[in-house]
């Protein structure tokens, strides 16, 4: 079983968070996550956090296009080839419906994937390490392993304090 204990460094200022992240990375302390009231793009870049969700979106878009084309082709060429206005049955106007449904499928399935992966649903109360990170605090989360000794914990604690954390807490979330 994994111990889920975490060390939280709470900050007041986004710029201080950015330098604190630098300081922690320089000492080879793995940062699990940074919570902030608004996106801090340069911090993401430092943490080298990657997401695969754009690939999922691309896949859903392609699938939506192909599925729409298949349905249009089946319905208006194979199953019920009705000629109107002298146009061929496999018509150029498919493109617009394919385009629009590619966007729809991309958006809806990406949202669904995101919600499922993050285990979110309407009305869920999210367990934040520190709920003040949705308000005016910036929180650096460092995972505390079972086998982490007291000395390392104290070192992390000191590093956070030294780089400007207003408080350092423990959390079990």
Partner 1 sequence: MDKKLYVSRSFKNIMIVLIILGLAAVATGFITGATTRTWANLLLENFFFLSITLGALFWMAIQAVTNSGWSAAFVRVPQAMVSYLIVAAILWIVLFFGIPNLFLWARHGADLHDAALAHKSPYLNVPFFIIRITVFFVLWIFLVWRIRKLSQKEDQIGGMVSFNKIELLSKVFIFVLAISFVFVGIDWLMSLDAHWFSTLFAVKFFISAFYHGSAFILGAVIILNKLGYFPFLNKDHLHNFSKYIFMLSIMWGYMWFVQYLLIWFGNIPEETVYFHMRRVEGFQGFFYAEIFINWLFPFLFLMWNRLAKNANALLITVAVLFVGQWIEIYNAIIAETVHKVVFGYLEIGVFVGFAGLFLLIGAISLSKHPMVARNHPYLEESFSLEDYKDKY
Q: What is the contact surface with partner 1 in residues (CB under 8 A)? A: 15, 42, 54, 58, 85-87, 92-93, 95-96
Residue (32 or 42) nearer to partner 1, CB: 42
Nearest-angstrom CA–CA distance, 141 and 146: 16
Residue number, 85 or 123, with CB nearest to partner 1: 85
Coil/strand/helix, residue 129? coil
Closest approach, Cβ 139 to partner 1, in A, equals 21
CB of 71 to partner 1, least distance (A): 20
Closest CA relative to residue 32, chosen from 21, 40, 41 = 21
CA distance 43 to 54: 20
Instruction: Report the residue number, 1 or 96, with the smaller CB distance to partner 1.
Output: 96
Q: Shortest Cβ distance from residue 95 to partner 1 (Å)? A: 7
User: Within a 10 A sphere around the Cβ of 165, how many other Cβ atoms?
Assistant: 22
């Amino acid at each position: 079983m994994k111990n889920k204990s975490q060390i939280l460094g709470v900050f007041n200022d986004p710029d201080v968070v950015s330098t604190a992240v630098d300081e922690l990375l320089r000492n080879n302390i793995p940062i699990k996550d940074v919570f902030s009231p608004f996106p801090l793009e340069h911090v993401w870049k430092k943490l080298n956090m990657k997401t695969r969700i754009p690939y999922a979106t691309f896949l859903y878009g392609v699938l939506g296009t192909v599925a729409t084309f298949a349905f249009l082709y089946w319905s208006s060429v194979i199953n019920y080839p009705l000629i109107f206005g002298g146009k061929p049955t496999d018509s150029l106007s498919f493109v617009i419906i394919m385009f629009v449904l590619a966007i729809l499928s991309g958006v809806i399935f990406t949202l669904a994937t995101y919600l499922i992966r993050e285990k979110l649903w309407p009305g869920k109360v999210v367990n934040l390490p520190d709920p003040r990170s949705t308000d005016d605090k910036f929180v650096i989360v460092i995972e505390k392993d079972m086998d982490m000794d007291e000395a390392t914990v104290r070192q992390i604690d000191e590093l956070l304090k030294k780089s400007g954390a207003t408080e350092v807490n423990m959390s079990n979330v």
